[in-house]
Structure 1
Amino acid sequence: MQDHRATIENFYAAFARLDADRMAMCYAEDAEFEDEVFHLRGREEVGGMWRMLCAATRDKGRDDWKLTWSDVAASGDAGQARWDAHYRFSATGRLVHNRISARFVFDHKGLIVRHHDRFDFWAWSRQALGTPGLLLGWTPMLRNKVRAQADANLRRFLARG
């Protein structure tokens, strides 16, 4: 039997070090990732997102970066954790403290096939975007704009290889 709890711990330990390559190794080829901004399919996209986010943090906010995780649990083919990220949002330079709940599903090899993160988008947008996030963060319009910009950034990042 696979130790899915260990996979989750290793994933977040790599994330705390901003080691996106090690994070990507935790995913199956056909993995799916979803959160309030991204909806991704395949290890290439999912790993690319983590590489993009880790690179932005190393380049523009390493001194502000802190990741903690807790409540890691796994049973059968599922797992969960809570994690907190403290970072500087690269697009605005604003400091963010995001609280996230994660759920995982694993394949028979112990790799992540589904990873769903949930966080309060309005709370995030108030911190990351300032006044626009405060006023419009609860609206589908702003959420869709953020999603579109994040997707465009990821496509550019992946195209650079």
Structure 2
Amino acid sequence: MHPNAQTLHRFYTAFSQLDHARMAACYAPEATFDDEAFSLQGREQVAGMWRMLCSASQKPGAAQHWKLEFSGIEADASGGRAHWQARYLFSATGRVVHNVVDGVFTFTPDGLIATHRDRFSFWRWARQALGAPGVLLGWSPSLKRKVRSTAAGNLKKFLAQG
């Protein structure tokens, strides 16, 4: 197995165990992360997001819903990919979400994640996470902007708390 594939395996194993510290250790200091909710620069922001999300999934009432499965890990010197599915309780609404995600990565020469881009159906996610508003507006750029803005604000508050 290529060392970069081992990095991805380490990352997703830690994610399945909600071990944000081991997840953060897989990223380079200047790493970037993008998905439908976040656009982050640097390991501090990326690690903070994973810490926030892992912490929410470990809370009483949420932990029973947490499950992550990953597959299709492929990587070489130039990049990598992985498929993962998470089941979790979306804390803002208390609704259970089953998110299906494909991740694409690049790596530093020393095998750390340099760029991480997760892609998933925002409309599918919004229907599950937000209920009726997600069903009606999950396709709209305005709802996506609102979710991104709320996520960024939540992360900023979380990081400020230490």
What TM bracket, shorter-length normalisation? Answer: over 0.9
Per the TM alignment, residue 62 of structure 1 is displaced from its structure 2 partner at its CA by: 0.6
Q: Does 1:80 align with 2:81?
A: yes
* SS of alignment partner, residue 97 of structure 1: strand
**5+ unaligned residues in a row in structure 1: which ranges?**
none
Per the TM alignment, residue 77 of structure 1 is displaced from its structure 2 partner at its CA by: 2.4
Q: Does 1:127 align with 2:128?
A: yes
* SS of alignment partner, residue 37 of structure 1: coil
Aligned length: 161
Q: How does 1:1-161 map to 2 (within 5 A)?
A: 3-59=3-59, 60-161=61-162
Per the TM alignment, residue 119 of structure 1 is displaced from its structure 2 partner at its CA by: 0.1
Residue by residue over 1:31-85, the C-alpha shift from the partner in whole angstroms, topping out at 9 and shown as x without a partner, is 0000011000000000000000000110141100000000000122201000000
CA distance in structure 2 between the partners assigned to 1:82 and 1:43 by the alignment: 22
**5+ unaligned residues in a row in structure 2: which ranges?**
none
CA distance in structure 2 between the partners assigned to 1:158 and 1:61 by the alignment: 21
CA distance in structure 1 between the partners assigned to 2:85 and 2:69 by the alignment: 5
Runs (4+) of structure 1 exceeding 4 A deviation are none
TM-score normalised to the size of structure 2? 0.97
RMSD: 1.1
CA distance in structure 1 between the partners assigned to 2:128 and 2:122 by the alignment: 10
